[in-house]
Structure 1
Amino acid sequence: MTSKYSIVTSDLTVKALQDSGYKSTAHAIAELIDNGIEAGADLVELFVVEGTYRPSERARHRVETIAVIDNGHGMDGETLRQSLRFGAGTRQHRRGIGRFGVGLPNSSISQCDRVDVWSWTNGPDNALHTHLDLAELRAGLEEVPEPKHEPVPEEWHRLSHALGPTGTLVQWTQLERVQWRGAEATLANTESLIGRIYRRLITKGTRIRLVPVRGWFPLAGERDARPNDPLYLTAPSSTPFPFDAKPMFRPHGGGNSGEIGVERFMVKGHDGADHPVLVRASIAVDAARRPDISGEEWPREVSPTLNPGDTPWGKHAAKNLGISLIRADRELDLDTGWTNSYDPVERWWGVEIDFPPQLDEVFGVTNNKQAATIFSSLSSFNWRDEAAGLSFEEFRDQLREEGDSRLSLIEIVYYIREKLLGNLRTNLTDQTRGTRSNRKRHEEVEAKAEHVLRRRKEETQPSLTDVLADQATVEERQQQQFESLVKVHKYSPTDAERIIAETTANDRHIQLLTSRNPDSPAFFNVEFIPGMLQVSLNMDHPAYSDLIAVLDQDLDSASKEELAERLVTAANAFKLLLLSWARYEDEQPDKPRARAKQMRQDWGRIAREFLSPDDEDDE
C-alpha cells in the first residue's frame, strides 16, 4: 500500500481559506458587491434571511442565508467555474475595482461553509449553477463542480427586483462565522461600510438595495444604501439631519489641481509610467460645530449647549475618523493611523487619497482590497529620524539618488503630515475658540483670580488697569476690549461682543484668552486694558500644546491610559518651563541675574496667593 505525503492536508487548506483576512462580515459581503459592479450592474441587492425558529420567546431569530443578486452581464459556464477557483479569477486587469479575481471564493468561505452561485445570460430560468462546500473540500474535492442548468430558486423571484435577462446570484448558507445574529443587525452594521466603500458609485447612480427577510418574506426596513462620505462633501447622504441634504464639510486648501482642496502628485508605477494621485481635504463648516450661525441654527431638538461632538451628526463623524484610501472609485480603507485618538477635534476634518489600480504595488494594495499596506505603514514614518540632520529637500534628493521606491509616497506623506493636517487642526481649534462652551474652561480659574484681585486691590496701591479704568468711561473700556479681541486676537465680532457681555455681567476684571502669535517667543502676553487685566496664551508656543491643550481637550471620553499619558506630558512640560527659566537666569550678567532672581521671588509670592485654597485666602 502506498502512503500519500501531502504537503498540505485538506483540513489545513480549509482552515487557511477560512482565515483569509477579512476584517468583518461586511467586508466579505463587499467583495460580492464588487463582482456585481464589475459586471456592469446598476442594481445590486443584499438579502439577509432569518429563519423562523427560535429556541425561546426571548431568543432572536438567527440569520440562515445571505445572498447578493446583481443585474450585471452574467457568466457563461467556463467563467462561472473559474470564478470559484482560488487565485484564478477572471479579472486580472487593472482597470476597474477588481484586484486579482480571488474575491468570490475567499470572501464566501471566510463566512460560510457553503456557497452556491447561479449566473445567467438568457434569463434566470436558464441559469447555470455550481457551488463550493467545505465538507466536500475536507473529503478531498479537488475541482469546482461543473456548472449545470438550474433555474434560480423561486423564492428569489419573489424577493428580487434585479432578476432580468442577465445577472448573478451568490448565496451563502451554513453561516458559521457571520458576526451578527439577526437580519437587521447584520444590515445595520453592513450599511455604513457599504455606503462608505461605494459612496462615489452610489452617487453616480448605482443602487445597492438592502432587504431584511424572515422565513422568505420581506421584513420592514428595506432601503437603498446611501452615501457615507467621510469627507462630508456629498449630499444627499447618510449623515443625520440637517446635514443629510447639504454638505457638513467644505473643501480645504487651495490645491494645485484646478479644484479647490485637491493637491495633485504624479507617482511612477511599476509599469514605468507616471500616474496621478489626488489628495483631497475637507473641514467642518461653522454650522456643524456652532449653534449661533445666523440662518443655520441647530435643530430645535438639539440643545445649543450640547458639545458638538455629542450631536447626532458629531457622533456620525466620530465613526469616520481617518484618511480614506480610494482606488478606482472604491474605498479600500479608512486608515486611523493618522489621527490623535484622544482628540475629539479629529472627527471634524477629512482627507482622501485617490489613486488608480496601476499603483497597486506602490501603495501595497492587498488581494482582498482592504488596505494599502505600504502607504499605511508610513503613517508613523518620521523622515527626520532617517534624514540624520538633513533638510527635507536634501533628504528627498538623497532618496532620489539612491532610487528609493518610497520617494513618491514619502513626498505625499510629508505634505499630509507637515502641511495639511497641522493646518486643518489649527483652523478647527480657531473655529470654536470664542464659543461659550470653549470659554467655560477658563471660568473657574478666572473666578478664583478675581477673588485674589479684589483682595489685593484693598491691600496694595492701585494697579495700572485700575488707574486706566478711572480715566475712561464704561463705553471706552468696552471699545478698547472689543478692538483687542477682534484686531489683535482675531475673534469674530459676535464672539467678542458676547465675551465682553459675559465679563461685564460677572463683574470680572481679569480674563484669560487664547491667541495665535507664531512670531512671538512668549508663551503668554499681558494687556493692560482699562479695568481689565487680559492674559492671552500663545497657541503657537510649544508650551501651550504640551501643557494647556493636552489637558483642556476632552476628558470625559478619554481612557485612563490616555489621561495618564496626558498628565505625564503636561507635568514634563511644566518642569521644562522651570528649567528654561533657570537657564535664563544662568545666562544673565550679575546685575540682571539679581533682578531676575528678585522677579522670580516676587512672582512666587503673588502666585502663592493665586494658588492658595479659598479658605486660606479668607483667613
Structure 2
Amino acid sequence: MTLKEQMPLIRVDKLYESLRYNEYSPENGMGEIVDNSVEAGAARIDLCITRSKQKGKGRPKTRITEIAVADNGCGMDFTTISKCLALGESIRPANRERPGIGRFGVGMTLGSISLARRVEVYSRMNPEEDFLYSYIDLDEVNARKLKKLPVPVPKTPAEEYAALLKGQAGTIVLLKNCDRIDGDLEGLAHYLGRTYRKFIERGLKLFMHLRMDGEPGFQTEPIYLHDPLYIAGPTKFDAENREKGLPMEPKATDWGTIRIPKEIENQPGKTADVIIHLTLLPEEWRKIRGDGGSQEARKRKIHENEGISILRADREVLYGHVPYITGKKGEAKSLDIDRFWGCEISFPPELDSYFQVRYIKRGAEPIESLKEQIRNELMKYIPGARKIIREFFSKNEAAADEEQSDFAAAENTMAEISHNLPQGPGTTQVTPEEADNKLNLTVQEALSTKRPDPQEQKAAQEKKKEELRSKPYSVELVSYPKSFFFETVHTPGSVIIKLNVNHPFYDAIMKPLRTARITDDSGSSRKTWDALLMMLFAYAKAETMFERENEALLEQLRNQWGAVLSTAIDETHKDSSDD
C-alpha cells in the first residue's frame, strides 16, 4: 500500500453502526435530544411519539415508529445546523461564561442514532423565516451514499409538527425508522420529570403526545416534575388536588445543605462547591413499617427512593445506589428504611473530574477521595434520620396496639360466655380453605395492619391471622363506604366484627364515646362503649345459628340496617345544626 492509498483514520460506515450499541437506554437517548432543547433556552418542549401494533404470538406488543422532539428555543442558523449532527462538534459558543449541560459534542447525534436509523433536523431562528433542514441516514452511510453532512436547505416539516412552533423560532428533531425502542413507554415521562425537575420547577413546560399509526391526532399529557427530595412542586398530585379543590401534597422537611469546596482542575486557587441537600419525607407517608411499598407510595415512587440523586448543571446524571456512600465500606446497598429520607448531590461542570463524567452523562460517580468526604458528611445525618423514622414507626405501632385494647373488655366477656353458647351451622359448615380466605381478607382490610410491602407484610399478616384464629370474638376497624355499618366474619373458631369507621353512627356516637371512656371517672362511658360492642357481637353470634343458605339474606339485612341508620344519624345531625 502506497502513501497515497493509506487507510482513512475512521471507517465511517462501520463506526456509526458500532456507536449505536453504546450504553444509552431509550430514556437516555431521548434525554440527549431534550438536553439540546434545554440549552437552547426553550420554554416548552413537545415529545410526539407514534407507535404501531406488532403481530405475533402471545400478548400484543407495540413498537415506536417515529419520534419528534420540538422546542421553542433560540433555533439554529445556517452554520450551526450544518454541523449539529457532526460527531464532536459543539453547537454552543465556546466562550460562554459557564459550561452547560453538554460536554463532548456527541450527545444529540449518539442519542438519536441509538434509537433510529434516520435523524432529521428542522430549525429556524426567526418565526417569519423558513425552516432549515439537515439529516443523517445510516442506510445511506452504510451504502456510502452519504459521506458528508448535507448542506442545509429550506424545508417545511410535516404540518402536525410545524404547528407546534407556529409563530415561533425553534427546532424539531425527527427520528424515523426507529428500530431500537419498543412501545412500552412506562417510565419515560417519570424519567424526564425527574431528570429535568429543576428546569420544570423554574417554568419549563414538557408535554408528551402519543398516537397509534393511522390515528388522526395525538393524545397529550403534561410531564410533571418528580423530586426525589419530595420538597419541590407542583407535582402531578399537587395539580390533581388543585383541580379537586384540595390542599397540595405534604412536602418533606428540609434537613439542610452541606457544601464541600473543591479546587477546579487547571485553575489553581479557584474552587467550586459540591452541594449536598438532605430531606426527611412527610410523616403521612411513613406511618408504619412497609408504608414504602403501599399503593400510594408506589404512585409517588417512594419504593424506589433508596438511592441518591446526582445532578450536573442541574440536570440529573445518576439516580440510584452509590456503593459505600451511605455507610461503612462493605455496606454497598441502602436499607429499606432509607427510602424515607432524600439526598441530592449537585455539582457544576467545572468539577467534572471529581465525578468521572462520561460522554453519555450517566454514572457520574464521585472519585474515592470525594466519596469519602461525602460519606463522612452523610453519616452525620443518616443515623439520626433512621432513628427518627424507626421511633415514629414504634409510636404508631404502640398506638395501634392501644387501639386494639379498646375492644378487649367486650371481646373477653364474650369469650368467657362462649362455652355456654351453642355452635350453629353458620360456623361449623365453613371449610378450612374458606376460613383462611376470610381471615386473609379481614387482615388486608383492617386499618391497623395495612402493611403492603411484600417483604415486611407477610410476617405481620400471619401474626394478625393467628391472633384472629385464637380469639373467639374480635373487632377490627375497616374503611368502607358510609352506608355499611359493620360486616361479620364467621369461622369455626371465631366471630369477627369488621366495624366501619366511616359510618355516621361510629363517627357521631361510638368515636366520641371511645374517647370519653378514657377520662370518664364514673365509668359510665366505658360501660356504654362495651355494651354497644357486646350488642354487635350478640347479633353476629345470632347469625351463626342460621344455615349458610341464608347468608345472602343476612348480608342484605346488615346492609339495609346500615343504610337506614346512616340516613337517620345524618338527619339527626342536620336537625341539630339547624337549631
Equivalence for 1:483: none
1:334 pairs with 2:319: yes
SS in 2 for 1:434: helix
Evaluate the alpha carbon distance shift between residue 495 and residue 154 of structure 1 in structure 2; reply closer, same or farther with a 3 A threshold: closer
**How far apart are residue 555 of structure 1 and its match?**
8.9
Q: 1:345 aligns with which of 312, 337, 360?
A: 337
Evaluate the alpha carbon distance shift between residue 198 and residue 248 of structure 1 in structure 2; reply closer, same or farther with a 3 A threshold: same
Q: 2:273 aligns with which of 271, 276, 279?
A: 276
**How far apart are residue 76 of structure 1 and its match?**
1.0
Equivalence for 1:20: 22
- For the 8 Å contact 2:86–2:149, the answer to whether it is kept is yes
2:190 partner letter: S
Q: 2:261 aligns with which of 237, 260, 266?
A: 266
SS in 1 for 2:380: helix
**How far apart are residue 503 of structure 1 and its match?**
9.0
1:281 partner letter: L
SS in 2 for 1:200: helix
Equivalence for 2:148: 143
Equivalence for 1:318: 303
Evaluate the alpha carbon distance shift between residue 430 and residue 154 of structure 1 in structure 2; reply closer, same or farther with a 3 A threshold: same
Alignment gaps of 5+ in structure 1: 253-260, 292-304, 379-405, 440-493, 508-552, 559-619
Evaluate the alpha carbon distance shift between residue 367 and residue 345 of structure 1 in structure 2; reply closer, same or farther with a 3 A threshold: same
Q: 1:530-563: per-residue Cα shift (whole Å, max 9, x none)?
A: xxxxxxxxxxxxxxxxxxxxxxx999439xxxxx
SS in 1 for 2:194: helix
1:422 partner letter: P
1:211 pairs with 2:216: no
The within-5 A match list for 1:381-392 is none
- For the 8 Å contact 2:119–2:137, the answer to whether it is kept is yes
SS in 2 for 1:171: strand
Q: 1:13-35: per-residue Cα shift (whole Å, max 9, x none)?
A: 1233212321x111111111111
Evaluate the alpha carbon distance shift between residue 244 and residue 193 of structure 1 in structure 2; reply closer, same or farther with a 3 A threshold: farther
The within-5 A match list for 1:547-566 is 556-557=454-455
Say how many residue pairs are matched. 397
2:160 partner letter: E
**How far apart are residue 4 of structure 1 and its match?**
5.7
The within-5 A match list for 1:42-57 is 42-51=43-52
- For the 8 Å contact 2:43–2:203, the answer to whether it is kept is yes
The within-5 A match list for 1:594-605 is none
Equivalence for 1:421: 382
**How far apart are residue 217 of structure 1 and its match?**
4.5
- For the 8 Å contact 1:251–1:281, the answer to whether it is kept is yes
1:267 partner letter: K
Equivalence for 1:571: none
**How far apart are residue 221 of structure 1 and its match?**
4.1
1:167 partner letter: G
Equivalence for 2:574: none
- For the 8 Å contact 1:124–1:163, the answer to whether it is kept is no
1:432 partner letter: F
Task: Report % sequence identity.
Answer: 27
SS in 2 for 1:557: helix
Equivalence for 2:428: none
- Structure 2: how far apart are the matches of 1:263 and 1:167? 39
Alignment gaps of 5+ in structure 2: 327-331, 413-450, 457-579
Tell me the C-alpha RMSD between the 2 structures.
Answer: 3.4
The within-5 A match list for 1:521-600 is 556-557=454-455
- Structure 1: how far apart are the matches of 2:285 and 2:173? 41
Equivalence for 2:158: 153
- Structure 1: how far apart are the matches of 2:248 and 2:233? 5
1:367 pairs with 2:359: yes
Q: 1:286 aligns with which of 283, 288, 291?
A: 283
Equivalence for 1:63: 64
- For the 8 Å contact 2:206–2:222, the answer to whether it is kept is yes
Equivalence for 1:536: none
Equivalence for 1:458: none
- Structure 2: how far apart are the matches of 1:134 and 1:151? 22
Q: What TM-score comes out, normalization by structure 1 length?
A: 0.58
SS in 2 for 1:122: coil
1:311 partner letter: Q
SS in 2 for 1:85: coil
- Structure 1: how far apart are the matches of 2:49 and 2:72? 18
Evaluate the alpha carbon distance shift between residue 239 and residue 218 of structure 1 in structure 2; reply closer, same or farther with a 3 A threshold: farther
Q: 2:254 aligns with which of 251, 263, 266?
A: 251
- Structure 1: how far apart are the matches of 2:402 and 2:158? 70
**How far apart are residue 125 of structure 1 and its match?**
6.0
Evaluate the alpha carbon distance shift between residue 217 and residue 419 of structure 1 in structure 2; reply closer, same or farther with a 3 A threshold: same
- For the 8 Å contact 2:292–2:453, the answer to whether it is kept is no
- Structure 1: how far apart are the matches of 2:354 and 2:57? 54
2:207 partner letter: R
1:147 partner letter: P
- For the 8 Å contact 1:434–1:496, the answer to whether it is kept is no
- For the 8 Å contact 1:211–1:218, the answer to whether it is kept is no
Evaluate the alpha carbon distance shift between residue 322 and residue 11 of structure 1 in structure 2; reply closer, same or farther with a 3 A threshold: same
The within-5 A match list for 1:412-561 is 412-416=374-378, 418-436=379-397, 498=403, 556-557=454-455
**How far apart are residue 6 of structure 1 and its match?**
4.6
Evaluate the alpha carbon distance shift between residue 425 and residue 152 of structure 1 in structure 2; reply closer, same or farther with a 3 A threshold: same
2:30 partner letter: I
- Structure 1: how far apart are the matches of 2:336 and 2:310? 22
Q: 1:335-376: per-residue Cα shift (whole Å, max 9, x none)?
A: 312577584322211100121121112222222222313x1x
- For the 8 Å contact 1:321–1:334, the answer to whether it is kept is no
- Structure 2: how far apart are the matches of 1:4 and 1:208? 49
Equivalence for 1:167: 170
